[in-house]
């Protein structure tokens, strides 16, 4: 039987999300089996070599990434817990599957070299100032950029950088300027993309999904 494109199947990587007064905490997991009733048998969460006990009857959220499509999640309840051979849980889906559109705007912390171009116009001539910068984070809608040039809010810049061997050339608007204290840069710029193509946006989003999944599988987030 084929599965829907937004559903999980045996072998898929997932996250078990628990909610408490302190907020949400996610743990890497994997789908081990699917029962005849449609329940999911998943590996129990382990964090820093310690078993995280999740109890029968506990409400959790199952979150996962579908390649090239985005992040999905549904509410679930634990119907069984076992420790024999392997720590595993049986969970029953209790809500519809929802796609998290906001992941398009999720800012992923990463350092990417960026060539920033800024045009200064006067009555007599135009000058393009090119500065080599680095990102603090990136999303499908913009970047936070480290810079030594003091921009004003509203400045229009062009950012050129490379992701997965593909050059991204996009115009952006400076929305925030903050002074920072680092060895290499003086300012942090919040830049909103204003003319990015959907093709380039998809390249960025796929990069974020992939890198985030790697960190999840390593247990780093």
Lowest mean pLDDT among 86-95, 132-141, 192-201: 192-201
Give the pLDDT band of residue 1 (cuts 50, 70, 90).
very low
Domain residues of the chain, as ranges?
A: 13-99, 108-216
Does residue 211 surpass a pLDDT of 90? no
SS3 track for the chain: CCCCCCCCCCCCEEEEEEEECCEEEEEEEEEEEECCCCCEEEECCEECCEECCCCCCCEEEEEEEECCCEEEEEEEEEEEEECCCCCEEEEEECCCCEECHHHHHCCEECCCEEEEEEEEECCCCEEEEEEEEEEEEECCCEEEEEECCCCCCCCEEEEEEEECCEEEEEEEEEEEEEECCCCCCCEEEEEEECCCCHHHHHHHHHHHHHHHHHHHHCCCC
Does residue 15 surpass a pLDDT of 90? no
> What's the topology of domain 108-216?
Thrombin, subunit H (2.40.10)
- Model pLDDT, residue 68: 62
pLDDT in tens, 27-85: 888 999 999 999 999 999 887 778 888 999 999 999 887 766 677 889 999 999 998 78
pTM above 0.75, yes or no: no
- Model pLDDT, residue 121: 82
- Model pLDDT, residue 100: 66
The CATH class for the domain spanning 13-99 reads mainly beta
What is the average per-residue pLDDT within 121-128?
A: 83
- CA distances from residue 16 to 27, 200, 215 in whole angstroms, order as listed: 5, 31, 15
The Cα 108–Cα 207 span in angstroms is 10
Does residue 23 surpass a pLDDT of 80? no
Does residue 208 surpass a pLDDT of 60? yes
């Amino acid at each position: 039987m084929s599965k829907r494109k937004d559903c999980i199947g045996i072998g898929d990587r997932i996250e078990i999300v628990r909610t408490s007064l302190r907020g949400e905490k996610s743990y890497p997991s994997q789908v081990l089996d699917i029962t005849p009733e449609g329940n999911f048998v998943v590996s129990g969460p382990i964090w820093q070599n310690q078993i995280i006990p999740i109890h029968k009857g506990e409400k959790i959220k199952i979150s996962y990434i579908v390649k090239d499509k985005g992040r999905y999640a549904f509410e679930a309840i634990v119907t069984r817990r076992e420790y024999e051979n392997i720590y595993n849980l049986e969970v029953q889906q209790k809500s519809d599957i929802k796609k998290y559109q906001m992941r398009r705007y999720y800012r992923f912390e990463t350092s990417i070299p960026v060539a920033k171009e800024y045009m200064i116009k006067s009555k007599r001539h135009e000058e393009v100032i090119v500065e080599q910068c680095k990102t603090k984070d990136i999303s499908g809608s913009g970047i936070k950029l480290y810079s030594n040039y003091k921009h004003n809010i509203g400045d229009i810049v062009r950012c050129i950088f490379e992701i997965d061997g593909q050059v991204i050339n996009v115009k952006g608007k400076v929305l925030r300027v903050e002074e920072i204290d680092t060895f290499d840069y003086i300012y942090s710029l919040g830049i909103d993309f204003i003319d990015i193509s959907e093709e380039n946006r998809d390249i960025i989003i796929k990069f974020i999904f992939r890198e985030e999944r790697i960190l999840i599988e390593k247990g780093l987030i």
